[in-house]
Structure 1
């Protein structure tokens, strides 16, 4: 098995490939914000420091060079998800850049206080729970070259690179831990097996291959040349509306 080591370029390549993969399923290509040559000009160690992120220069360099998923004011309360109930932070958006520091809206950048543990300066909080407490945080550890997936509700499910004996102040290390390649390969395979599904245009759930949404994808030929993303999304919208209507009728609201 491959042992982890940190490479910014490898992470950027794997993340870019993953986003391109998601466009084959549900993600509109136009929401992917690719960095210009040389990286995002405004993301510097001084920006990271002034924003009170508490991250080191290696994390600042990573932030400067990765692609981001657009998060505008219009979709702030319903952001795009890229893994089961996980929304990537967008350091190019007005949502972030209009804030004086992370303390104006900490839940965009860090786990809720007391939910896991403090995240150290060498770890980038790549994705957060979009709302509430049900979901996953995704961390990029630039010292070890690993990705950590943390679900505070279900607790740690250690993998070979986890540290189940980590001290409480490093509790984040107890969760599922992967090399960059392992994580993105696993995530793609979960989508292919319908163990993880975009249940509509924005929301991704870890679920069963037998759910009705998975059948819609199969009927539409996802991962084949005949697949039409927009047509499939329209069918998912229609299915969700039918489910909502049935729920309202069952509750006597219609």
Structure 2
């Protein structure tokens, strides 16, 4: 299928907009490019040149939106255990502190393995689904952590971990998977136990509360976002308060049992007589 930059850009924008509509992604976290695209001062063009990425790849990255919070504790996952790549200067792995190791962390291929100049990952993570875009063939290789094709040539590692798909079709399926709550966006609120905003499978325990409340508050046709977030936070706070109460009650009961045990021991010893009861 012929490569179309605008298809990729549209799919990523739509994906982020869906996560915003679901009260998961903070819209202020999305860094949107100007109409002419990110400039050389904004996009890490020199790094892309060091990585020998093609002009077509650079052009794609100029027009993509990025997330300002794509790593560490305050990040937003964009799929299950999957973070978004950010190719702007001084963001994510391209911050000065991490830049020298960026390609090792952002590329899903092993050390010493190279990918064609026309390919670029748009997502990252140790066990992520890596959205490897092939701008030469106009396809996506959704690379996972497992080998799916042991017959793939040694010099084509992306083929070992993925089967190629049409870009529009892949993101249409992903959109449907999230919209129908097969994969559930789980946002942070007060009362959360998680460290970051995560995307989880609908069977995961962490998905049960947001999945139920999303439906209760009208998702997808008449979603009441503010009410949903308020209810989600309140139920989490209530659950945490109950958990705290159970722990405090358990501590109180243990202390009470210990007091009774000590009291019984003292009582037994006191009935055993004392030193001044000896006959003279």
Coarse TM-score class (shorter-chain normalised): 0.7 to 0.9
Distance 1:107 1:214, change over 3 A: farther
Distance 1:7 1:222, change over 3 A: same
Distance 1:45 1:217, change over 3 A: same
- More helix by percentage: 2
Q: Which runs of 5+ in 1 are unaligned?
A: 157-162
Q: In 1, Cα distance between the equivalents of 2:216 and 2:67?
A: 28
Q: State which structure, 1 or 2, has the greater radius of gyration over its C-alpha atoms.
A: 2
| Offset at residue 53 of structure 1 (A) | 2.8
Q: Which runs of 5+ in 2 are unaligned?
A: 189-196, 253-280
Map 1:105-184; keep pairs closer than 5 Å.
105-106=102-103, 108-111=105-108, 113=110, 118-129=114-125, 133-152=126-145, 154-156=146-148, 165-174=151-160, 175-184=162-171
Say yes or no: does 1:189 pair with 2:176. yes
Say yes or no: does 1:90 pair with 2:86. yes
Q: In 2, Cα distance between the equivalents of 1:135 and 1:47?
A: 23
Cα deviation, 1:71-98, whole Å, max 9, x if unaligned, reads: 37xx643321112221111223633554
Secondary structure, counterpart of 2:141 in structure 1: strand
- Choose between structure 1 and 2 for higher RCO, CA contacts under 8 A separated by at least 6 residues: 1
TM-score, reference length from structure 1? 0.76
Map 1:1-254; keep pairs closer than 5 Å.
4-25=1-22, 26-42=24-40, 43=43, 45-49=45-49, 52-71=50-69, 76-92=72-88, 94-96=90-92, 97-99=94-96, 102-106=99-103, 108-111=105-108, 113=110, 118-129=114-125, 133-152=126-145, 154-156=146-148, 165-174=151-160, 175-201=162-188, 202-208=197-203, 211-225=208-222, 227-238=223-234, 242=239, 246=243
Cα deviation, 1:171-210, whole Å, max 9, x if unaligned, reads: 3124143212111111111012211111224211233398
Q: In 1, Cα distance between the equivalents of 2:11 and 2:183?
A: 19
